[in-house]
A and B are shown apart, each in its own frame.
Chain A
Amino acid sequence: MTRESRARWLAAATALLVVLLAALFALMRNWG
């Protein structure tokens, strides 16, 4: 895997985490 493709995967994983954390935020606001 080249450095660029690693950077691509890392960026994608990071963005996925951001989207999941945003979902967690929405869940927490609507908890209970």
Chain B
Amino acid sequence: MLHLIHVVPDFSAAAIAGLGDAAAPLPSPQKVRAAQSAALDRTLAPARRLLAKAGLAGLEICLVGNNPGDEIAVYARKKRLDLLVLGSRGRGLLKSVVMGRWPPAWRPLHDAAAADSQAMSPLAPPRRPPATGARRRRTARDAALWLALYLALVTLPLFALLPGHGGGLGFLWDYGLALGYAGLAMLGVQFALTARFRRATAPFGIDIVYYFHRYLAVLGVAVVLGHYAVFRLAYPAALGSAAPAEAPLHMSAGRLALALFALLIVSSLLRRRLRLEYDGWRIAHAVLAVLAFGAALVHLLGAGRLLDAPWKQALWIVLGVFWVGLVVWVRLLRPWQLARRPWRVVAARPQRARIITLELEPVRPLPPLRFSPGQFAWVSLRAGPFAMREHPFSIASSAADGTRLAFSIKALGDFTSALQEMRVGEIAYVDAPYGTFGIDEEPEAPGSVFVAGGVGIAPVLSMLRTLADRGDARPLWLFYGNRVWDRVAHREELEALQARLSLAVVHVLQEPPAQWSGERGFVTEDLLRRHLPATRHRLAYFLCGPTPMTAAVERALGALSVPAA
């Protein structure tokens, strides 16, 4: 058997999915797909002609991954290929040595990856449902309140320095100082954005809060750089010597803080490109953030041009301790609470498509966990709660039973792959529930539409199981995108749920089998229009899957006049 293999470039470096994953902006899924199919066709065309001429058939394989060499090697090993014939691409040997291989970075999308990329990190941020009338207004009001709170947290400590000040030293000088104070306050609030405050995430959804964390980090560091730039350009004498031996401690601390903040940004935005392993990066991220913030505080208190009264110093010390205290809360106190409430794996069932369902029960009797279907949990498996190795997973079980939690997890990264070997009896720590995605957010909707891709089915399963347990009779639609029929996880259970619910399941396959009479390709505007009733704008929508899919479906729904959340 001949395998024609091509590794398509990943234009979706940002097809992130995990919380804490930061990356560059994402090209549209259409563009990505078009570019990838063009690349595939371009590469395989000569081989196709050659094979046709020789009267041979080839199996066309489209791979994706970080490193084409590795991808091909893994495939060859898995399929036990006898001989690999590799084509040289574009550059000759010398150019390749000098300029490196092209393309330099590769990532999944075209095939399995479209459905699987979500599982590269455990949780694709589920998309909140488009909201209706009253809830939309309530959400907008709450969002405005939280934004006002953000601005207050960042600027009030600065404006508190105005009363009793000894007079300005010129606009530019004071503006430079103010940028430093405001920038530091912005970076302080960063600790709060990831401190898992349930109420703060409610009006936005956890995905927005993490996007916010990412973009405000970049902007906060830009403001701090602005602070430095004002003095560097307008008052270089004020900065003094940059040599640590000659400079006062607080000035060296300021320079160190700048460097550490820059390092934080670079290591986060380019985490994948730098091939930093997620768990290690997370620990380094927290440590770097505390060090950078600590150094900045030393700089502020030492330079302290605006802290001309003891109470002003005290105010900023208290604020600084508070922000860093949030890290202590999330990383020490909260894990300490969790350590006293261990859970145990009571079932580990492999599903299709390298998905494993883990069921957990408390080791000691606990009150049932109250959660809304669609919410997620931070789960530590094979690690203590202090190890910072917890991962976010959607709860897949019914909210009607809070004493037994199920998670459907896909093997892809190092961590999720290790889960395939989880055994009954192993201990887990569960920090839950989190997130504001789910049917309970839309109690008055006349019906619901779920769009899931790959393992994105997990929170949808929780919602469907809960609705079935509640005896809900409202009409439901599930559009479930997968690559091939053999990899459609949980499809038997979905069939069983159809008997208990008024549920229409529409499977959408990218590579359907020959006799397939169902939908093929992707979940598009046209496909949604064909299956949904004219009153579709009144339904509640829940999307969960790889980012390119949810973004494309969001646009399709917009074109169908479904109001966005």
Q: Give residues in A with beta carbon < 8 Å to B.
A: 1-8, 10-12, 14-15, 17-19, 21-23, 25-31
Knowing A3-B205, A22-B179, A26-B175 are in contact, say whether A15-B151 is a contact too (CB < 8 A).
no
Closest to A17 in B: B151
Interface of A is mostly: helix
Knowing A17-B151, A21-B151, A29-B162 are in contact, say whether A12-B219 is a contact too (CB < 8 A).
yes
User: B344 contacts the other chain (Cβ, under 8 Å)?
Assistant: no
Q: Is the CB of A4 within 8 A of B26?
A: yes
Tell me which residues across on chain A come within 8 A of B551, comparing CB atoms.
2, 4
Tell me which residues across on chain A come within 8 A of B226, comparing CB atoms.
19
Query: Can you report 21 residue pairs joining A to B where beta carbons are below 8 Å apart?
Result: A2-B554, A3-B211, A3-B565, A8-B215, A10-B212, A11-B219, A14-B147, A15-B223, A18-B151, A18-B155, A18-B186, A19-B223, A22-B179, A22-B223, A25-B174, A26-B172, A27-B171, A28-B162, A29-B174, A30-B170, A30-B174
Closest to B158 in A: A25
CB distance from B232 to the nearest CB of A (A): 17
Closest to B551 in A: A2
Q: Is the CB of B155 within 8 A of A15?
A: no
CA A9 to CA B551, docked complex, whole Å:
16
User: B506 contacts the other chain (Cβ, under 8 Å)?
Assistant: no
User: B69 contacts the other chain (Cβ, under 8 Å)?
Assistant: no
Q: Is the CB of B171 within 8 A of A15?
A: no
Q: Is the CB of B151 within 8 A of A11?
A: no
Partner of B171, one of A3, A4, A21, A30: A30
Interface of B is mostly: helix
Q: Is the CB of A8 within 8 A of B211?
A: yes
User: B336 contacts the other chain (Cβ, under 8 Å)?
Assistant: no
Knowing A14-B150, A18-B154, A18-B186 are in contact, say whether A7-B175 is a contact too (CB < 8 A).
no
Closest to B215 in A: A11
Q: Is the CB of B151 within 8 A of A7?
A: no
CB distance from B151 to the nearest CB of A (A): 6
Partner of B211, one of A7, A22, A27, A31: A7
Knowing A25-B159, A30-B170 are in contact, say whether A10-B178 is a contact too (CB < 8 A).
no
Knowing A22-B178, A25-B162 are in contact, say whether A7-B208 is a contact too (CB < 8 A).
yes
Q: Looking at chain B, what size class is its interface with the partner chain?
A: 35 or more
Q: Is the CB of B220 within 8 A of A15?
A: yes
| 0/1 string, B155-187, CB within 8 A of A gives 1 | 100110010010111111011011101100010
Closest to B219 in A: A15
9 closest A-B pairs (Cβ-Cβ)?
A30-B168, A11-B215, A7-B211, A15-B219, A29-B168, A22-B178, A26-B175, A26-B174, A21-B155
CB distance from B545 to the nearest CB of A (A): 14
CA A31 to CA B171, docked complex, whole Å:
9
Tell me which residues across on chain A come within 8 A of B186, comparing CB atoms.
15, 18
List residues 183-224 of chain B with CB under 8 A from any CB of chain A.
186, 205, 207-208, 211-212, 215-216, 219-220, 222-223
CA A28 to CA B163, docked complex, whole Å:
11
User: B465 contacts the other chain (Cβ, under 8 Å)?
Assistant: no
9 extra interchain contacts, Cβ-Cβ under 8 A, other than A2-B551, A7-B208, A25-B174? A14-B150, A15-B222, A17-B151, A18-B186, A22-B182, A22-B223, A26-B175, A26-B178, A27-B171
CA A25 to CA B168, docked complex, whole Å:
10
CB distance from B510 to the nearest CB of A (A): 22
Knowing A14-B147, A26-B168, A30-B170 are in contact, say whether A19-B179 is a contact too (CB < 8 A).
yes
Tell me which residues across on chain A come within 8 A of B169, comparing CB atoms.
30
CA A7 to CA B25, docked complex, whole Å:
12
CB distance from A26 to the nearest CB of B (A): 4
User: B272 contacts the other chain (Cβ, under 8 Å)?
Assistant: no
CA A20 to CA B442, docked complex, whole Å:
38
Which one of A6, A8, A21, A22 has the highest number of Cβ atoms from chain B below 10 Å of its Cβ?
Answer: A22
CA A8 to CA B26, docked complex, whole Å:
12
Tell me which residues across on chain B come within 8 A of A23, comparing CB atoms.
175, 178
User: B107 contacts the other chain (Cβ, under 8 Å)?
Assistant: no
User: B507 contacts the other chain (Cβ, under 8 Å)?
Assistant: no
Tell me which residues across on chain A come within 8 A of B555, comparing CB atoms.
2
CA A1 to CA B219, docked complex, whole Å:
21
User: B127 contacts the other chain (Cβ, under 8 Å)?
Assistant: yes
CB distance from B245 to the nearest CB of A (A): 33
Partner of B208, one of A3, A14, A15, A25: A3
Q: Is the CB of A21 within 8 A of B182?
A: yes
Closest to B154 in A: A18
CB distance from B162 to the nearest CB of A (A): 6
Knowing A3-B208, A29-B165 are in contact, say whether A14-B171 is a contact too (CB < 8 A).
no
Tell me which residues across on chain B come within 8 A of A22, comparing CB atoms.
155, 158, 175, 178-179, 181-182, 223
Closest to B14 in A: A4
Tell me which residues across on chain B come within 8 A of A4, comparing CB atoms.
25-26, 207, 211, 547, 551
CB distance from A5 to the nearest CB of B (A): 8
Partner of B207, one of A3, A21, A25: A3
CB distance from A8 to the nearest CB of B (A): 5
Q: Is the CB of A15 within 8 A of B26?
A: no
Tell me which residues across on chain A come within 8 A of B177, comparing CB atoms.
26
Tell me which residues across on chain B come within 8 A of A25, comparing CB atoms.
155, 158-159, 162, 174-175, 178
Tell me which residues across on chain A come within 8 A of B205, comparing CB atoms.
3
CB distance from B297 to the nearest CB of A (A): 18
Q: Is the CB of B179 within 8 A of A15?
A: no
CA A12 to CA B226, docked complex, whole Å:
15
CA A5 to CA B539, docked complex, whole Å:
24
